Structure 1
Amino acid sequence: MELDVVAWVHIREKRLLTVRARGRDLLYLPGGKVEPGESPAEAIAREVGEELGLGLPPGDFTPLGTVVTEPHDQPRYTSVRMVCFTAPYEGGLHPSAEIDELLLVSPSERRLLAPASAAALDLALDRGLLEAEA
């Protein structure tokens, strides 16, 4: 069974914004599951609002791409399909809901990421949003 999720890919200071959800060992991107009746853009706007307290309208999100990989800490699922979006944002970010902390991760810290988040980091590198470190 495939887990369908959406994620916000946000680059700041040449690093990828990640979150540590309560009780998780690896880092994830802000985002989550699409609720029934929601579009992916509506879902990512809702999830980013819940997790980071941001009010980004669905129209601000631009599709970046989709990654499919193995799940992490989700034994009911055989794979994760994550649709990634970008959206501009400036200002302070604050963890809320089930998020314990925010971290900016460089490409050399890929090992800290859950598999789908690592695949999204690779997508950001491929699309030129991040640069590989020498």
Structure 2
Amino acid sequence: MIDKLAWIRIENGAILTARSHNRDTYYIPGGKREPGESDHEALLREIKEELSVDLILETVHLVGQFEAQAHGKPAGTLVRMRCYAADYHGQLAPAAEIEEMVWLTYADRAKVSAVAQLIFDSIHQAGLLK
């Protein structure tokens, strides 16, 4: 089981996604905890590293948890994604391993990983994703 955290940011009916260098699939920004980090600490660090913004700790709240086949991994390798929403300070800009960030709608569902597709389904059903 791969245990990851993700930042759900929805604006104007679209969700913020990112694509790493030399990859063709988009994912929801976030990453893994380092030893001793809480979910919030890891999420704030990962988003700063990937997208150059600071999440506002007081606004971080759990959206949900999703599990699916891990993209690009052997069959049976699952990823568990704990998803949080939060406000932020700064200007969004790709950094570190991120080549591109884009706002996707539900029509773009096929462009994301299996676990992200479950997240797209959930937020679309909630009326938040066009």
Percent identical: 38
Partner of 1:81: 80
Q: TM-score, normalised by structure 1?
A: 0.88
Regions of 4+ moved over 4 Å = none
The Cα RMSD (Å) is 1.8
Q: Deviations over 1:82-104 (max 9, x none)?
A: 00000124763100000000111
Q: Deviations over 1:17-61 (max 9, x none)?
A: 100011211100110111111111111111100000111143331
Partner of 1:62: 61
- Letter of the structure 1 residue corresponding to residue 93 of structure 2: H
Match of 2:45, SS? helix
Q: CA deviation at 1:71?
A: 0.5
- Letter of the structure 1 residue corresponding to residue 40 of structure 2: A
Unaligned ranges ≥5, structure 1 = none
Match of 1:41, SS? helix
Q: Deviations over 1:86-128 (max 9, x none)?
A: 0124763100000000111110110000111111112222344
* Higher strand proportion (structure 1 or 2): 2
Unaligned ranges ≥5, structure 2 = none
Q: Is the 8 A contact 1:8 1:85 kept in 2?
A: yes
Question: Which sits farther off after the overlay, 50-59 or 107-116?
Answer: 50-59
